[in-house]
Chain A
């Protein structure tokens, strides 16, 4: 019995034990608000276990790279400001009970959007990896906050660098959307493959890029893969449009064959145009 216990202890020493970070529920997961004055919102934090969970809260600036990946800090500018939000710096959550945290939001002085990130770091779980290397696992939930003072002017968007390429399993489409206005825009992109048929163009594939959040001054790349059979036809078109309020951007491009891509052949659209929606 004792030797079996010793063997179990040795097994624990020798085997790397997967480390688990402590879980955290945060609601809502983002705050997008219109504001003319300072105001207040709340976040509800709930641990996923009953054991005491320390959460350290901070506010940081952030930007998105062209692929939509957020980057914290080091981007202090006119529109991303850590002083946008005031919040208590930390809590200890007990017995699995939720805690409501007040979030003070400071309206931007001028029109347009200002943003910051509420960063909630759950206390690290300390353990050793294989070989005894000390490893700390931190669970970090980030709540993006965007406060917008609405202006009368619409946010001008631009659609650029639209490319489409035929692959063996479909058509790859990329495009770049620019937001030249002062406000964050939430929209989506619709991508359609068409080819001429009896009575006009026929839609052969369609895809949507949902939840496209466009920050002022931060170009955003759109990637879409449309599953459509490879064709010898050269009269296919790829149509892309991005709605923005009552207007939308659109562009059209012929997909290039994948074999010619490396030879410099390129199918790209002229910059997209703003078009009145037919409603």
Chain B
């Protein structure tokens, strides 16, 4: 392959890969036609905690000290043509939540473009292979300059 041909191919690749929105703010242009995210390694707790310093331990634990380990899922966020889903593929205990939000494109663009999808049950997460709808990804892909995926973990 000649040098010029490979440069042309690289330029074509960059054109294909460039963001679908314009800096002038074309809201109709589509950014984030597809977003794939995985967070394979997040854990709640498994680090030994140190007791409070003597003389200052005026709090008594209401329960024996606990450090439940959270097994968190690999997370995949996929968005294509306005459809979005999150797939949880591992076992998780306690309560987990996944939040997807788009940064406001303008100051006036706030709550409407930020939404949350989460799933939990009275027994916490169980083995899940289902999908959660996340309209925010679609909203983000239509107009936001940037998509922020927040993987949020709680343990009660």
Contact = CB atoms under 8 A, between A and B. Distances in A.
Given A39-B52, A48-B43, A138-B151, A29 B34 contact: no
B36 interface: yes
A9 B47 CA distance: 40
Contacts of B16: 14
Interface stretch (A79-87, A139-147, A164-172, A261-269): A139-147
Contact of A211 (B65, B152, B156): B156
Contact of A186 (B57, B61, B63, B145): B63
A43 interface: yes
Contact of B58 (A37, A212, A221): A37
Interface in B112-151: 118-124, 141, 145-151
A49 to B, nearest CB: 8
A11 to B, nearest CB: 9
Interface residues of A, number: 74
B60 A223 contact: no
Contacts of B41: 20, 23, 48
Contact of A129 (B1, B35, B57, B65): B35
Nearest to A103: B52
B107 interface: no
Interface stretch (A62-70, A153-161, A250-258): A62-70
Nearest to B12: A10
Nearest to A183: B62
Interface string B44-82: 111111101100111111110111101000001000000
A222 B123 CA distance: 9
A44 B37 contact: no
Contacts of B31: 131-133
Contacts of B57: 39-40
Residue picked from B52, B123, B147, most chain A C-beta under 10 Å: B123
Interface residues of B, number: 71
B46 A27 contact: yes
B110 interface: no
Interface in B67-110: 67-68, 70, 76, 94-95, 97
Contact of A33 (B9, B60, B148): B60
B120 to A, nearest CB: 5
A117 B20 CA distance: 38
Contacts of A78: none
Interface of A: 3, 6, 9-10, 13-14, 16, 18-21, 23-30, 32-44, 46, 48, 67-70, 98, 100, 105, 117, 124, 128-144, 147-148, 186, 189, 209-213, 220-224
